[in-house]
Structure 1
Amino acid sequence: MIRAVIFDLDGTLLNRDVSLKKFVEDQYERCKQAFRHIHKNTYIDRFIELDARGYVWKDNVYQQLIDEFRIEGLTWKELLDDYIHHFPFHCTPFDNVENTLQRLSEDNLSLGMITNGFEVFQMNNLKALGIAPFFQSILVSEREGIKKPNPEIFRRSAEFLGFSTRECLFIGDHPENDVKAAKAVGMTTVWKKDSFWDEVDADFIIEDLSCMPAIVQSINEKEGKEDGF
C-alpha cells in the first residue's frame, strides 16, 4: 500500500525554467545600467546556458558572465546576492500543484519532499509557492549533508514520515537523481515527463500532476484486491 508520496521540487512542483527566465529578465531590467552594453536576449540566453538547468551554482555563472561581458559596476557577489533574494519573487508552480497536494492530503496520505540545494534558498522558494504546510517532511541536501541520488536521503525521508520505502511513492523529473535512485531503495516511482530527457524506467509516467491521486488510488486498490480485502 502507498501511504506516503514524496516529491522532488525543481522541475516537478516548481516550474524552474519559467521561474528562472522571469527572474533573469527582471534582473536585467533592474541592473540595466551595468548591463547597458549587452543585448537583453544575449544576457538571458547566456545565463540560462551557463546555469545548465540548475546544476551549476550561480557563483560560477556570475563570475563567467562578468568575465565574458566585461560587466563593471557590479561584482559577482552582488549579483549572486540579488539572485538569492529576488528569485523567490518569480517562483512559478506547474499546473495543478496546490490542487494535487490538497487531494493527496484529503486521501490521508503523508507528503514529503527531497530537494538538492541550499536550505534557505529552497525553503524561501517553497514559501513563495505557498505549499510548505502540505508537507510533513522536507529534506534539503545542504541541511542533511547528503544529496540525491544518495540512497540514504530517500531512506531518511521514508523514516521521517514513519513508513517503509515500499510504502512510499516518489515523483521527480530527473531520470537518475530521482527515478532510478528512488527505485533502487524500493519506492514506487513516477517520472514527471520532461522533454529534455528520453523515456525513463519509471513505474508511471505523467505530464500533469493532477494524475497523482488516481495513480495512488489504483495502486492501493490493486494491492487490496490481491490481499483479499
Structure 2
Amino acid sequence: MFKAILFDLDGTLLDRDSSIKHFVSTQYDRFAPKFKNIRKSDYISRFIELDCRGYVWKDKVYQSMISDFGVQTITWEELLDDYYVEFINSCIPFPNLLKTLDILTKQGYRLGIITNGLGDFQRRTIQGLGIENYFQTTLISEIEGVRKPEAEIFIRALRSLGVMANESIFIGDRPDVDVMGAKHIGMKSIWKRDLGWREPENADGIIDDLGEIPLIIERFL
C-alpha cells in the first residue's frame, strides 16, 4: 500500500535543540578572547532565547547579541559566517536515525525530505547528519519558492518520487505545518512528539523515537 516515507528535517531527524546548544558552546570557545566580559552560560542562554527555536533569522539574532552584550571586538557578520560554516560540525541526530533509515531502505521504501529553510544551510545540515545518500529527493523551501504547509511543496516531492499521496507517509514535529500540510493532500501523517507543541488531534500516528517508525507503518497496512 505504501511506497514512500517523507520526513521533515529540524526537530524530526535533527535534534535541533541539542545541536544548537553544542554549536553555541563551541562558538563561544572559538571566540572567547573577544568575549572578555561575557560568561559562557549567558552567551548560550541569550542565543537560544533570541533564536526562538529557529524562527528568527540568525542575522537578527547576532545583531541583537552584539548590541545586548556591547561587543566591539567582533562583528555580527563574522559570527553569522561562523554559524554557516561551523554548524555542520554540531549536527546531532535523534536516536536510532541511521538504524531506522537502514530498515526503511531495506524494506524498499522511497525516502524524501521536505524542509523549510535556506537551501545551502539545510543541505549542509543533512550532510552533517551523514544521511544524504538515503534520500531519493530533498525539497527545501528557499529553493522551491514554496513552504510547508503549502500543498505545492508536498506535491512536488511526491511527483519526484513517482508516488501518489495515498501511497505516502509524512513524519514531522510541527502539527500545523507537517501533520496538517501532509493530511491536506491525502498523505498519512505521523507526529514526532515535541513538547513545544500541543498534541495534534488528527495525526494518524504519534512517535517518541524514530525507531518506532517501522512498527507504526505496519499498523497502517
TM-score band by shorter chain is over 0.9
Q: Which residue of 2 aligns with 1:78?
A: 78
Q: Distance in 2 between matches of 1:121 and 1:151?
A: 23
Q: Which residue of 2 aligns with 1:4?
A: 4
Q: Which residue of 1 aligns with 2:109?
A: 109
SS at structure 2 position matched to 1:217: helix
Q: Which residue of 2 aligns with 1:204?
A: 205
Q: Which residue of 2 aligns with 1:226?
A: none
**What stretches of structure 1 move > 4 A for 4+ residues in a row?**
none
Q: Distance in 1 between matches of 2:170 and 2:106?
A: 18
Unaligned 5+ segments in structure 1 are 221-229
Within 5 Å, which residues of 2 pair with 1:23-172?
Answer: 23-172=23-172
Within 5 Å, which residues of 2 pair with 1:10-29?
Answer: 10-29=10-29
CA-to-partner distance for each residue in 1:141-200, whole Å, 9 max, x for gaps?
Answer: 111111111111011111111011111100000111111111111110000001111211
**Alpha carbon RMSD of aligned pairs, Å?**
0.8
| Offset of residue 74 of structure 1 | 1.1
CA-to-partner distance for each residue in 1:7-39, whole Å, 9 max, x for gaps?
Answer: 000000000000000000011111112212111
Q: Which residue of 2 aligns with 1:227?
A: none
| Offset of residue 218 of structure 1 | 2.5
Q: Distance in 1 between matches of 2:186 and 2:213?
A: 19
Amino acid at match of 1:217: E
Identity %: 50
CA-to-partner distance for each residue in 1:60-82, whole Å, 9 max, x for gaps?
Answer: 10001111111111111111000
Q: Which residue of 2 aligns with 1:224?
A: none
Q: Distance in 2 between matches of 1:122 and 1:7?
A: 13
Q: Which residue of 1 aligns with 2:220?
A: 219
Q: Distance in 1 between matches of 2:167 and 2:10?
A: 23
Q: Distance in 2 between matches of 1:36 and 1:178?
A: 42
TM-score by length of 2: 0.97
Q: Which residue of 2 aligns with 1:186?
A: 186
Equivalences, count: 220
Amino acid at match of 1:210: G
TM-score by length of 1: 0.94
SS at structure 2 position matched to 1:190: strand
Q: Distance in 1 between matches of 2:190 and 2:57?
A: 27
